Amino acid sequence: MSEKVLRLPVKEYLEEIEVYEAGKPIELLVREYGVAPEDVVKLASNENPLGTSPLVKEAIIANAHRAHLYPDDSMYELKEALARKFGVEEEELIIGAGSDQVLSFVSQLLLEPGRSILTSRVSFAMYDIYASWYGADIVKSKSWRHLPEEFIPLIEEREPTIVYLCTPNNPTGDAMRVEDIEKIVESGNPEKTLFVIDGAYMEYAAAKNPEYAVSPSRFIERYPNLLYLGTFSKAYGLGGMRVGYGIARKELISALYKIRPPFNITTLSLAAALAALEDEAFVQESLKIHAQEIGRYEEFADRNGIEYIESSTNFISYLFGEDRESGKIARYLFERGVIIRDLSSYGINGVRITVGTPKQNDRLFEVLQEALS
Amino acid sequence: MSEKVLRLPVKEYLEEIEVYEAGKPIELLVREYGVAPEDVVKLASNENPLGTSPLVKEAIIANAHRAHLYPDDSMYELKEALARKFGVEEEELIIGAGSDQVLSFVSQLLLEPGRSILTSRVSFAMYDIYASWYGADIVKSKSWRHLPEEFIPLIEEREPTIVYLCTPNNPTGDAMRVEDIEKIVESGNPEKTLFVIDGAYMEYAAAKNPEYAVSPSRFIERYPNLLYLGTFSKAYGLGGMRVGYGIARKELISALYKIRPPFNITTLSLAAALAALEDEAFVQESLKIHAQEIGRYEEFADRNGIEYIESSTNFISYLFGEDRESGKIARYLFERGVIIRDLSSYGINGVRITVGTPKQNDRLFEVLQEALS
């Protein structure tokens, strides 16, 4: 009676989709390699190396006794605070379990067999995965940058249902100028194409260069076919709490609401996100330390003859020549308790490293130097 | 330039779907009616009135400093603990943000236009909502009970892709005998129909009558086309943390994994669920107090000439005659800080009341008595 094959009628286009490979958690290293948890240096998932704001910790502890109560599904307080921060109305906001969940909503709303998405050749893996969940085709630009000269002809020719502009881009780290974003968005037909600006790392890019700073309120005012995504997982230090948001015109937000499962944000995550918004000083401190430390990564690369992509995020991507293999280097580090992200599954012989605390970065340089020699 | 209508090409069958109406949160009452939070008695969402285990609170507080770290996406520890509890293998388990999310996975995997689901006439609203998200038809039994004589002919005739057996049923509270579940499951073609046993309130039913107690391991051993759902939101006191699970044969679980978004459970929710599993004494205490208090609800109903459905859950449904209107009664209570669930949207002139603590129940009886007089 042991049947290895599922006999139920799975939808045809779901048969062969791929599963997202997440960054390796500390727990795995502890379990499988016996590294002590306190010795693990995790620079693989672009978490905030400073942790989270003390106000967030206080809010979590103060709300622990409310774990049995369903969250306020209207998310009134958090939406009000976000609306104030971005100068938009509450009806122009939707909150997801990570901005990732808002991606899944928009994919579900718009994608079906016969439709397509357009992304940069190398970009956030979930765009493709969600497209495959709904049977849509995936069109990619030729290079891994978001270049108007590559995107605009593809938009005019293919009329994709969703165009993803990941800025700054993950896993490459480069950001788009606002004027280039505008050029690309204006090339699309508002009745056929939605543009998603994924600003998961926008805080880092905006701090680096004002020409990269996207204003969601200005963009949604100008364009009816635009969705801006932001997250609490990076600069705000809440990667474990799963809170992100989408900003768009009311008509699109209310359509997305139709396919939002109730209670999609936990009671403690709502409290944590609200507290995180109240501690802008923590974010500024994170950005300041990051700006100091990323310079060390550039110096290390230069010193060791490693190419890198100039980064506008909290990570940096090192690109190796033919003499080196990114998978082997990542593995060498992993076995010594330093977790980084191998990019070979993206077709890049390189690694993505989250910029950590000064001490974490010291350790990374030490072990990476060994691996290179 | 203000367009009120979305011009993007939303998928046709998503145009007219309904949004789930959640139980009203305490925050709304505090905001809109100025009731002090400590005076609110919320008996609307079937949360555990005892709150959550002290071990859970400790685990949350101990993990607050890890809010910035993405969760262990393998959920190794929680899956291991659940596998042990149910006597199944880890590959026979999937964890969702509430069992609700596992419902959404199975709907996404199997439903599309031209396919259908079968449910009892009155049952958990999300079955229909998820079916509508994928354009499937909804077939319902004639009565609100899960009767083999109603279900079997519909299964044979309509060959629904999913049959939902919600036992005990929400929002009615009645449970199915295991022998009736078996009769119904055996009437389906395993290549065409999946049976979902939704056991969100199973702990209460099993404590009341062993003939209601479903053994997931035994069911999945016998039937390849079966998925059992359980949750931490009710007896385990974690409604705000969003953790549930599905148990089925490996083939089905691995198909469901294809459409699980990464990091679907927060870091703190994983820690909380693991701690909740370690405090079985808390669950037993919850069941004991519940068994005492539900008798008071039956007495109150008898004394006031109110019909009720015999309950195998942590709530009870009162049914009113033509002289009363459930909406008015629920509203009267709401304005006095007592939140219960009006069932008129289910086509029932009645209310669903979560059995609370002795003190909460005192207050409910007091205000309901006023409303009835």
Q: What is the bridge-based pairing of β-strands B162-166 and B116-119?
A: parallel
Which residue does chain A place closest to B267, by CA atoms?
Answer: A240
Write out chain A residues lying below 8 Å of B5, CB-based.
251
Burial class (CB in 10 A: 0-12, 13-18, 19+), A48: buried
**A6·B259 Cβ contact <8 A:** no
Burial class (CB in 10 A: 0-12, 13-18, 19+), B324: middle
Task: Name the minimum distance, in Å, from the CA of B61 to any CA of chain A.
Answer: 5
Indicate whether this complex's ipTM tops 0.90.
yes
- What 3-state class would DSSP assign to B106? helix
Task: Name the minimum distance, in Å, from the CA of A2 to any CA of chain B.
Answer: 9
Residues B83-93: tens digit of each pLDDT: 999 999 999 99
Which residue does chain B place closest to A243, by CA atoms?
Answer: B266
Nearest Cα residue to A102 out of A227, A2, A220, A18:
A227
Amino acid at A55: L
pLDDT above 90: percentage of residues in chain B:
88
**A240·B14 Cβ contact <8 A:** no
- Among the partner-chain residues B47, B70, B110, the one whose CB lies closest to the CB of A23 is B70
DSSP A344: G
Cα B56–chain centre separation: 21
Write out chain A residues lying below 8 Å of B73, CB-based.
22, 25
Write out chain B residues lying below 8 Å of A30, CB-based.
none
Query: Residue A146: which residues within 8 A CB-CB, separation 6 or more?
Result: A120, A165, A166, A167, A169, A176, A180, A184
pLDDT of residue B22: 64
DSSP A155: H
Query: Residue A165: which residues within 8 A CB-CB, separation 6 or more?
Result: A146, A176, A181, A184, A185, A195, A196, A197, A198
**B61·A61 Cβ contact <8 A:** yes
Judged by phi (left if over 0) then psi (alpha if -120 to 50, else beta), residue B46 lies in: left
- Among the partner-chain residues A72, A161, A237, the one whose CB lies closest to the CB of B68 is A237
Residues A303-353: tens digit of each pLDDT: 999 999 999 999 999 999 999 999 999 999 999 999 999 999 999 999 999
Which residue does chain B place closest to A129, by CA atoms?
Answer: B259
Amino acid at B94: I
Residues B150-202: tens digit of each pLDDT: 999 999 999 999 999 999 999 999 999 999 999 999 999 999 999 999 999 99
**B8·A112 Cβ contact <8 A:** no
Write out chain A residues lying below 8 Å of B104, CB-based.
261
Instruction: For residue A371, give both structure tokens.
Output: 């691996």
Using pLDDT thresholds of 50, 70 and 90, give the confidence band for residue B1. very low
**A98·B263 Cβ contact <8 A:** yes
Helices B250-257, B99-110: inter-axial angle, 10-degree rounding: 90
Task: Name the minimum distance, in Å, from the CA of A305 to any CA of chain B.
Answer: 32
Q: Point out which residues pair with A245 in neighbouring strands.
A: A95, A230
- What 3-state class would DSSP assign to B65? helix
CATH code of A54-279, in short, is 3.40.640.10
User: DSSP labels for B316-333?
Assistant: EEEE--TT--HHHHHHHH
Write out chain A residues lying below 8 Å of B70, CB-based.
22-23, 25, 45, 47, 233, 239-240
Residues B52-66: tens digit of each pLDDT: 999 999 999 999 999
> Does the pLDDT value for residue A280 go beyond 70?
yes
CA angle in degrees (0–180, nearest 5) for A212-A215-A219: 110
Are B306 and B320 in contact by the 8 Å Cβ rule? The answer is yes
- Among the partner-chain residues B51, B67, B240, the one whose CB lies closest to the CB of A272 is B67
Query: If you compute the radius of gyration of chain B from its CA atoms, what whole number of angstroms results?
Result: 21
- Among the partner-chain residues A27, A112, A264, the one whose CB lies closest to the CB of B11 is A112
Write out chain B residues lying below 8 Å of A100, CB-based.
261-263
**B110·A257 Cβ contact <8 A:** no
Q: Point out which residues pair with A261 in neighbouring strands.
A: none
Write out chain A residues lying below 8 Å of B31, CB-based.
76
Are B69 and A240 in contact by the 8 Å Cβ rule? The answer is yes
Write out chain B residues lying below 8 Å of A23, CB-based.
70
Using pLDDT thresholds of 50, 70 and 90, give the confidence band for residue A7. confident
CATH code of A12-51+281-372, in short, is 3.90.1150.10
> Does the pLDDT value for residue A2 go beyond 50?
no
Q: What is the pTM of this model?
A: 0.95
pLDDT above 70: percentage of residues in chain A:
97
**B52·A73 Cβ contact <8 A:** no
pLDDT of residue A16: 76
Using pLDDT thresholds of 50, 70 and 90, give the confidence band for residue B27. confident
- Among the partner-chain residues B27, B77, B192, the one whose CB lies closest to the CB of A76 is B27
Are A273 and A79 in contact by the 8 Å Cβ rule? The answer is no
Cα–Cα distance measured from residue A5 to residue A184, given in angstroms and rounded to the nearest whole number: 45
> Does the pLDDT value for residue A20 go beyond 80?
no
**A133·B255 Cβ contact <8 A:** no
Using pLDDT thresholds of 50, 70 and 90, give the confidence band for residue B35. confident
Residues A79-114: tens digit of each pLDDT: 999 999 999 999 999 999 999 999 999 999 999 999
Q: Which spans in B2-98 are helix H?
A: 26-33, 54-63, 76-86
Nearest Cα residue to B164 out of B130, B119, B211:
B119
Query: If you compute the radius of gyration of chain A from its CA atoms, what whole number of angstroms results?
Result: 21
Using pLDDT thresholds of 50, 70 and 90, give the confidence band for residue A37. confident
> Does the pLDDT value for residue B260 go beyond 70?
yes
Which residue does chain B place closest to A31, by CA atoms?
Answer: B76
Task: Name the minimum distance, in Å, from the CA of B302 to any CA of chain A.
Answer: 30
With residue A326 as reference, give the H or E element that holds it: helix A326-335
pLDDT of residue A28: 76
Cα–Cα distance measured from residue B286 to residue A128, given in angstroms and rounded to the nearest whole number: 45
Burial class (CB in 10 A: 0-12, 13-18, 19+), A114: exposed
Task: Name the minimum distance, in Å, from the CA of B109 to any CA of chain A.
Answer: 6
Residues B292-343: tens digit of each pLDDT: 999 999 999 999 999 999 999 999 999 999 999 999 999 999 999 999 999 9
Cα–Cα distance measured from residue B47 to residue B40, given in angstroms and rounded to the nearest whole number: 14
**A68·B61 Cβ contact <8 A:** no
Write out chain B residues lying below 8 Å of A356, CB-based.
none
User: DSSP labels for A219-279?
Assistant: HHHH-TTEEEEEESSSTTS-TTT--EEEE--HHHHHHHHTTPPTT-S-HHHHHHHHHHHT-
**Chains A–B, number of C-beta pairs less than 8 Å apart:** 265
Compute CA distances A109 → A127, A242, A313, B8, whole Å.
14, 21, 30, 10
Instruction: For residue B161, give both structure tokens.
Output: 């892709």
Nearest Cα residue to A161 out of A184, A137, A180, A130:
A137
Which residue does chain A place closest to B240, by CA atoms?
Answer: A70
Which residue does chain B place closest to A269, by CA atoms?
Answer: B266
B134 backbone dihedrals φ, ψ, rounded to 5°: -115, 15
Residues A211-249: tens digit of each pLDDT: 999 999 999 999 999 999 999 999 999 999 999 999 999
Query: Domain limits of chain A?
Result: 12-51+281-372, 54-279
Neighbours of A58 (CB within 10 A): 14
Cα A162–chain centre separation: 17
- Among the partner-chain residues A8, A249, A266, the one whose CB lies closest to the CB of B241 is A266
Write out chain B residues lying below 8 Å of A70, CB-based.
22-23, 25, 45, 47, 233, 239-240
Are A195 and A224 in contact by the 8 Å Cβ rule? The answer is no
Write out chain A residues lying below 8 Å of B7, CB-based.
190-191, 224-225
Are B119 and B151 in contact by the 8 Å Cβ rule? The answer is no
**A255·B28 Cβ contact <8 A:** no
pLDDT of residue A239: 97
